[in-house]
């Protein structure tokens, strides 16, 4: 069955949201490069790539269901941050925004009786639980290290090691 046009439009918007998240994490990676925190930088760069895979999951779904993919401009990300804690707070807020976006999509798919879209989105519901948990745990650590360069460098080393552990 061909993808419902309202759902197709909303999924297209979500491709843009995921790419904007990817671009924002890349800007955060660039900030950490400038701050000489290479572990944070590589961790955020890895996460930027992960968000791109999320966009492509939706891209592939729309294509398979015979929908039309419309790519839009990606909004400029914030490039300046006050501290590691500031970055992590904004990253967590962004993940919470994405969770709300996925919830709204799920509700629309339900209203339109788009069962296979709901099934596809259930992966994202699980993923957002992991994402919020992950970012809040790193935010907690960044807060604990806050104001102490040595502790921040230890956390940076931890994140450098964790760079390859990311999934999804």
- What is the smallest separation between the CB atom of 22 and Fe ion, expressed in angstroms? 8
Cα gap 62→131, rounded to integer Å? 24
b/e for 34-53, b at 16 or more Cβ within 10 A?
Answer: ebebbbbbbbbbbbbebbbe
For Fe ion, which residue of 54, 108, 118, 141 counts as binding (CB under 5 A)?
A: 54
CB-wise, 18 or 114, nearer to Fe ion?
18
Shortest Cβ 93–Fe ion spacing (Å): 12
Rounded to a whole number of angstroms, the minimum distance from the CB of residue 100 to Fe ion is 13
Q: Which residue is nearest to Fe ion (CB)?
A: 54
Shortest CB 109 distance to Fe ion, Å? 17
The C-alpha atoms of residue 120 and residue 117 are separated, in whole angstroms, by 5
Nearer to Fe ion by C-beta: 29 or 152?
A: 29
Query: Which residue stretch of 12-20, 67-75, 83-91, 149-157 sits at the interface with Fe ion (rule: CB under 5 A)?
Result: 12-20
Candidate list 131, 142, 152, 155; residue touching Fe ion; CB under 5 A? 131
The alpha carbon torsion through 150, 79, 72, 118 (nearest 10 deg) reads 30
The nearer residue to Fe ion, 51 or 89, going by C-beta atoms, is: 51
C-alpha distances in Å from residue 22, one per residue of 77, 106, 115, 125, 152? 9, 22, 28, 18, 24
How many Cβ atoms are within 10 Å of 117's Cβ, its own excluded? 25
Total residues at the site for Fe ion (CB under 5 A)? 4
Q: Are 18 and 58 in contact (CB under 8 A)?
A: yes
Residue list 98-127, contact with Fe ion (CB under 5 A)? none
Of residues 64-103, which lie at the interface with Fe ion (CB under 5 A)?
A: none
CA angle, 125 then 84 then 76, to 5°: 65
Positions in the binding site for Fe ion (CB under 5 A): 18, 51, 54, 131
């Amino acid at each position: 069955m061909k993808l419902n046009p309202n759902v197709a439009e909303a999924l297209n918007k979500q491709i843009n949201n995921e790419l904007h998240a990817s671009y924002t994490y890349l800007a955060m990676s660039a900030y950490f490069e400038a701050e000489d925190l290479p572990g944070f930088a590589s961790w955020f760069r890895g996460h930027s790539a992960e968000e791109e895979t999320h966009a492509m999951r939706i891209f592939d779904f729309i294509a398979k269901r015979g929908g039309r993919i419309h790519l839009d401009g990606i909004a400029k990300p914030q490039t300046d941050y006050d501290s590691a804690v500031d970055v992590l707070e904004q990253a967590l807020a962004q993940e919470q925004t994405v969770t709300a976006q996925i919830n709204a999509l799920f509700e629309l798919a339900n209203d339109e009786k788009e069962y296979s879209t709901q099934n596809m989105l259930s992966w994202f519901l699980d993923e957002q639980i992991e994402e919020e948990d992950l970012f809040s745990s790193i935010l907690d650590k960044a807060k604990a290290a806050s104001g102490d360069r040595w502790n921040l460098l230890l956390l940076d080393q931890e994140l450098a090691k964790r760079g390859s552990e990311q999934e999804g």
